[in-house]
Amino acid sequence: MRLVVSVVYTAVVVLSAGLGPNSAFAQDATDTKPATIWYSEQFIFHSKSLERDFLIQVAKPLKPQTSKVSVIYVLDGNSLFPAVASMMQGYGGFGHSAPAYVVGIGYPDQTLEQWFSLRTHDLLSGPVPDSVKEVPDSFKAAAASGNGAGFAKFLLQELRPMIERRYPRHRRHRVTE
């Protein structure tokens, strides 16, 4: 057993030494570009009722569909859209689940703090309970002025009808409510 461990350790050390940044195998990276998800697109959608823009990301099923498919709406689009879209494309593309469109609802060009403040404002309606500790004052203010009902109205009366016009979906198979 010691011999096997010793051989494996030696192989790792030797290989690691040859693959350092100064080795003949090292390469400089090309210019970076934003990562993309296959079969997806994004656009800015202006809400008339909320009077501001949202980043809408849509992942389409991998295979062409001959019938209408379900729609999954992801509220934390900036952070969760890539994971949900990749999972649904993988599972749906290989027949492990029904194919579906994934619609991410996020915010364009925001810092993490701005995103969290907008998200808090949109998803909550009322002040943060005193039992919740260590929340920055800016988030407490966003929650206190929260407009969860207005955001729900935007989702149901503005965004969903636009998505249903733009993408062939199955009306009874949407995941929103």
Domain carrying residue 83: 38-172
The pLDDT, as a whole number, for residue 75 is 92
Residues 6 or more apart whose CB falls under 8 angstroms from that of 35 comprise 82
Tell me the pTM: 0.72
- The answer to whether the CB of 96 falls within 8 A of the CB of 120 is no
pLDDT band for position 140 (cuts 50, 70, 90)? low
User: In angstroms, rounded to a whole number, what is the distance separating the alpha carbons of residues 25 and 15?
Assistant: 11
* Cα 111 to the center of its chain, rounded Å: 15
Higher pLDDT among residues 32 and 9, named by residue = 32
Asked if residue 141 belongs to a domain, the reply is yes
CATH number of the domain bearing residue 168: 3.40.50.1820
Q: State the total domains in the chain.
A: 1
φ, ψ of residue 4 in degrees (nearest 5): -65, -45
Asked if residue 20 belongs to a domain, the reply is no
pLDDT band for position 14 (cuts 50, 70, 90)? very low
Asked if residue 78 belongs to a domain, the reply is yes
pLDDT, tens only, 23-70: 566 667 677 777 788 889 999 999 999 999 999 999 998 877 777 788
Strand partners, 45: 54
Asked if residue 83 belongs to a domain, the reply is yes
11: left (phi over 0), alpha (psi -120 to 50) or beta: alpha
φ, ψ of residue 51 in degrees (nearest 5): 55, 45
Asked if residue 31 belongs to a domain, the reply is no
Q: Quote the percentage of the chain above a pLDDT of 90.
A: 30
User: In angstroms, rounded to a whole number, what is the distance separating the alpha carbons of residues 74 and 118?
Assistant: 15
Q: Please list the alpha-helical segments (H only) found in 19-145.
A: 77-93, 112-123, 137-144
